Structure 1
Amino acid sequence: MGGMDQPGVTLRGMTEDEYRTYVHEVQATVVRELVASMPEEEARAKAAGGIAQYLPDGLATPHHTLVVAEDATGAPVGNAWIGPDPQRAEGSGAAWLYDINVHPHVRRRGYGSAILAEVEALVRRNGMTTLGLNVVGSNVAAIALYGKHGYVVSTMQMSKRLQ
């Protein structure tokens, strides 16, 4: 893994059109996850509220960066959303990876690693010293990716289904 075989990506700012599509996709994903535990209307309202809470001014929200990752030919292969760690005080040097995606048609080719590496470089250039993230316990592929990049568990939530 890694080394010369990893595809290179370039990060650029998301356009307004891309942002609208992205928000739509994020909300659809959140609704799919929430609908298991609540009515669809409630799930939709909660999903919309989540993004509005963190990105009140959309792309112009201060301290938040939304990027599109492009391959060597300039074709978009994924995206990421980076901002301040919501659990830490301002000026703590702690950034948070709110979201990272590789487009379905180019998955399993090393783009996740490439995007993550570029995001880390971007965060470093912005003077931040740590990058935190949340990952669902069942997402084995994501956990393996982050582990490979040196991420360690900082806090862990656990739950048990009580039948």
Structure 2
Amino acid sequence: METQQVTLRKMAPAEYHAAIEHREAEAARVLSTFMPEELARDRVRRGTAKFLPDGPDTAGHHLVMAENGSGEVVGNAWIGPDPGQASGTADSAWLYDINVFEPFRRRGYGSAILAAAEKLAAREGKTALALDVVGSNEAAIAMYRHGGYEVSSMSMRKDL
């Protein structure tokens, strides 16, 4: 597979709204396997409001579009402070979301966006980039492992 390169740029307002709508729908879909759908949608919306109180202008958060060398928008990402570390003391950034648009999937763009997100965090003095991934998302897990990510904690569940 060819090694892709991307450039990150700030989302325009319409891109931000589309990205948040997509992220919330996907997160609610995953959560609705564990709780009623309406509760899942509400929980996801509250999370967005909590972490992005000023939308795309929330301090410390980067909501970015990824463009390939031809200028095509291939995906997006949301990078911000690690929610598990105290404000102002965090040496770790958090990848809240990464998305490769359908026509560009399975072509190396996920890894390219991830690498660009890592560079963005490093430029801000962060020494690590952490994230959560759904356990059933084998393609994403493989991409993260290939990129050098390791499991740092794990939650498990069994429906009774």
The answer to whether 1:116 aligns with 2:104 is no
Query: Counterpart in 1 of 2:97?
Result: 99
Deviations 1:91-118 (A, max 9, x none): 2211000011100111000001111111
Query: What is the aligned residue count?
Result: 159
Report deviation, 1:136. 1.2
Distance 1:159 1:39 in 2: 16
| Contact 2:77-2:99 at 8 Å conserved across structures | yes
Over 3 Å counting, the alpha-carbon distance change for 1:83 and 1:36 in structure 2 is: same
Report deviation, 1:51. 0.5
Distance 1:8 1:97 in 2: 19
Query: Counterpart in 2 of 1:43?
Result: 40
Distance 1:151 1:104 in 2: 24
Distance 1:92 1:48 in 2: 25
The answer to whether 1:26 aligns with 2:8 is no
The answer to whether 1:54 aligns with 2:47 is no
**Bigger radius of gyration among the two:** 1
Query: Counterpart in 2 of 1:150?
Result: 148
Distance 1:97 1:82 in 2: 5
RMSD: 1.3
Report deviation, 1:73. 1.3
Report deviation, 1:120. 0.6
Deviations 1:50-81 (A, max 9, x none): 11111010011111111100011111100000
Q: Secondary structure at the match of 2:77?
A: strand
Identity over aligned pairs, percent: 53
TM-score under structure 2 length normalisation? 0.93
Query: Counterpart in 2 of 1:89?
Result: 86
* Letter in structure 2 aligned against 1:83: G
Q: Secondary structure at the match of 2:39?
A: helix
Distance 1:13 1:60 in 2: 10
Query: Counterpart in 1 of 2:159?
Result: 161
Structure 1 unaligned residues grouped into runs of 5+: none
* Letter in structure 1 aligned against 2:54: D
Structure 2 unaligned residues grouped into runs of 5+: none
| Contact 2:81-2:90 at 8 Å conserved across structures | no
Deviations 1:113-161 (A, max 9, x none): 1111111111101111111000111111111111111111111111122
TM-score under structure 1 length normalisation? 0.92
Over 3 Å counting, the alpha-carbon distance change for 1:50 and 1:93 in structure 2 is: same
